[in-house]
C-alpha cells in the first residue's frame, strides 16, 4: 500500500509496523487519518515513537476512530477521564493486565474495535514487551476440515473468570460482569477477512460440545494461535504508543520486570457485534 503523509516500516511480513511522520498530539488531517487507518488495517497493530499527548489529546485521537469504550472493570485515571484506563505494575502487584493471550474485553456484547496504549514509565533494565499475533493467519493456516468445523461453532466469553477470578474484583452494584456468545471465526467488518476469535483469557467453552471436546478443541486452537510465525514483539520506550485491532489480533503482555514499575494509559475504541459472513 502506498502512503504519502506517513512512513510505514513493517516489523515483520505478517504483523506490525512502525509509523513515522505523524504527531498524535495534534489533530490529524483527513488524508493522514485515512493513511493511519489504512496502515492499521494492513498491519493489525501499529506503533508510534516519541509522542507527547495529554489525556484529552489521547481521547481525541481515539475518537477519530469511533466512540470510546468503557471498561467493565474500570480503573480510570481520574473521574475527569473515565475513558482512560491505567495500565500499571510495580513491586506491590499480584498480577498484571494482559498476562494471557487475549483480545480486549471479548466478553462484551460488542467487543472493542481497537485499543491505544500510551506508555510513560518502563523498567530500568528492559522487559515489559508486548507480543501481538495475527488471527487472520491463525485461521488461514488451519486445515480445511478444521476451518469448516470452526466456522460452524460459537463460544462463550465470560468476564467473571478474569475480572472476578484472577483480579478479585466485584461488579458494580446490581450488575454482573459481561458474558456473551460469539462466533469462533469472525468476519472483519472492514477487510472482509476471516479471523479466529477465541482466547485463553475470556473464552470458557464452545457451545454445543461436551466439556472434554470443548477443552480439547480450544487448547488446540490456543496453541495454534500462539505460533511464533504469526507474531511480532514490540520493545517499548517511554512515550511510545501501540494501536491494535482487537478484531484481527491478539496480544500478550510480558511480566518479566518484577518488582520494577511499568506505567501506561489506554484508550479503547468501541466496536460492533462479531459476525461470520458465509
Say which residue the cell 464452545 belongs to: 206
157 is an active site residue: no
Among 102, 137, 157, 262, the one annotated catalytic: 102
CB atoms within 10 A of CB 259: 10
179 is an active site residue: no
Query: Rounded distance, CA 49 to CA 44, Å?
Result: 17
Position 78 scores a pLDDT of 66
Position 73 scores a pLDDT of 63
Under 8 Å between Cβ of 15 and 45:
yes
At 20, give phi and psi (nearest 5°): -125, 155
Query: Rounded distance, CA 115 to CA 104, Å?
Result: 8
102 is an active site residue: yes
251 is an active site residue: yes
Query: Rounded distance, CA 275 to CA 189, Å?
Result: 8
Spans of the chain, pLDDT less than 50: none
Under 8 Å between Cβ of 198 and 138:
no
> How far, in Å, are 85, 112, 203 from residue 70 at the CA level?
9, 9, 20
DSSP line for the chain: ---SSSEEEESSSSS-EEEES--TTSPPPHHHHHHHHHHHHHHSEEEE-S----HHHHHHHHHTSSPBPPPTT--EEETTEEEEEEEEE-TT-S--TT-S-B-TTTTSSS--SEEEEEEEE--TT----EEEEEHHHHHHTS-HHHHHHHHT-EEEEESIIIIIIIS---PPTT----EEEEESEEE-TTT--EEE---TTTEEEETTS-HHHHHHHHHHHHHHHT-GGGEEEE---TTEEEEEETTTEEEEE----TTS-EEEEEEEE---------
Query: Rounded distance, CA 75 to CA 147, Å?
Result: 38
Among 137, 182, 251, 262, the one annotated catalytic: 251
Beta pairing, strands 45-48 & 240-245:
antiparallel
Strand-pair partners of 244:
45, 115
Which domains does the chain possess?
7-269 (3.60.130.10)
Query: First-to-last CA distance in the chain?
Result: 27
**Can you say how many angstroms the Cα of residue 204 is from the centroid of all Cα atoms in its chain?**
18
Position 95 scores a pLDDT of 79
Query: Rounded distance, CA 51 to CA 131, Å?
Result: 21
Among 58, 69, 71, 104, the one annotated catalytic: 104
Beta pairing, strands 45-48 & 17-20:
parallel
Amino acid at each position: 500500500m502506498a502512503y504519502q503523509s506517513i512512513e510505514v516500516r513493517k516489523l515483520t511480513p505478517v504483523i506490525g509496523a512502525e509509523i513515522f511522520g505523524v504527531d498524535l498530539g495534534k489533530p490529524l488531517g483527513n488524508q493522514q487519518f485515512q493513511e493511519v487507518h489504512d496502515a492499521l488495517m494492513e498491519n493489525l497493530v501499529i506503533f508510534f515513537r516519541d509522542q507527547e499527548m495529554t489525556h484529552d489529546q489521547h481521547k481525541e485521537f481515539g475518537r477519530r476512530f469511533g466512540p470510546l469504550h468503557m471498561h467493565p472493570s474500570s480503573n480510570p485515571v481520574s473521574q475527569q477521564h473515565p475513558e482512560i484506563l491505567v495500565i500499571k505494575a510495580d513491586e506491590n502487584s499480584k498480577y498484571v493486565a494482559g498476562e494471557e493471550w487475549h483480545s480486549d474485553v471479548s466478553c462484551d456484547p460488542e467487543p472493542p474495535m481497537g485499543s491505544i496504549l500510551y506508555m510513560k514509565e518502563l523498567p530500568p533494565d528492559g522487559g515489559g514487551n508486548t507480543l501481538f499475533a495475527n488471527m487472520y493467519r491463525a485461521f488461514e493456516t488451519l486445515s480445511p476440515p478444521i476451518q469448516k468445523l470452526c466456522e460452524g461453532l460459537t463460544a462463550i466469553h465470560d468476564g467473571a473468570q478474569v475480572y472476578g477470578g484472577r483480579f478479585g474484583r466485584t461488579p458494580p452494584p446490581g450488575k454482573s460482569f459481561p458474558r456473551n456468545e460469539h462466533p469462533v471465526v469472525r468476519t472483519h467488518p472492514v477487510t472482509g477477512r476471516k479471523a479466529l476469535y477465541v482466547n485463553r483469557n475470556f473464552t470458557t467453552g464452545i457451545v454445543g460440545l461436551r466439556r472434554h471436546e470443548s477443552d480439547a478443541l480450544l487448547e488446540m486452537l490456543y496453541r495454534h494461535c500462539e505460533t511464533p510465525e504469526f507474531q511480532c514483539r514490540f520493545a517499548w520506550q517511554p512515550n511510545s504508543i501501540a494501536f491494535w485491532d482487537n478484531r484481527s489480533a491478539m496480544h500478550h503482555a510480558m511480566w518479566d520486570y518484577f518488582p520494577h514499575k511499568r506505567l501506561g494509559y489506554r484508550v479503547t475504541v468501541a466496536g460492533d457485534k462479531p459476525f461470520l459472513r458465509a
